[in-house]
Amino acid sequence: MTIPESAWVTIGLTGQLFFTMRFVVQWIATERKKKSVVPEAFWYFSIVGSLILLAYSIYRKDPVFILGQSFGMTVYLRNLYFIQKGKKHESD
C-alpha cells in the first residue's frame, strides 16, 4: 500500500470512529435516562463522521458510499436545525 493510500485508509477509519462514537454517546445517554434518548452530540458526531467518510468515498470513487453519506448529511443537518429552532423557541 502506498503512503497516500495508507493516509486515506487512516482517514476512512477516523471517519468510522466518529460514526461509531455517535452510538456510544446515544447508548450512554439512554442508559442514564433509562429511556431512548438521542443527544445533540449524536448529530455532531454524525456530521463529522459523515464528512470524513464522504471524503474517503470520493477518494475511493465509490458512488454507493458517496450517495449514502450525502443523504445522511442532509438528515443530520436537518435534525440540528430543528434542535436549534426548538432552543430558540424555548427561550422566547
pLDDT in tens, 31-62: 999 998 999 999 999 999 999 999 999 999 99
pLDDT in tens, 13-36: 998 999 899 889 999 999 999 998
Q: What is the pTM of this model?
A: 0.81
Taking CA atoms, 79 is separated from 12, 27, 40, 71, 75, in Å, by 24, 18, 9, 13, 6
Residue 80 predicted with pLDDT over 90: yes
Q: What is the pLDDT of residue 2?
A: 95
Q: Please report, for the chain, the start and end positions of each structural domain, with discontinuous segments joined by +.
A: 3-87
Q: What is the pLDDT of residue 1?
A: 84
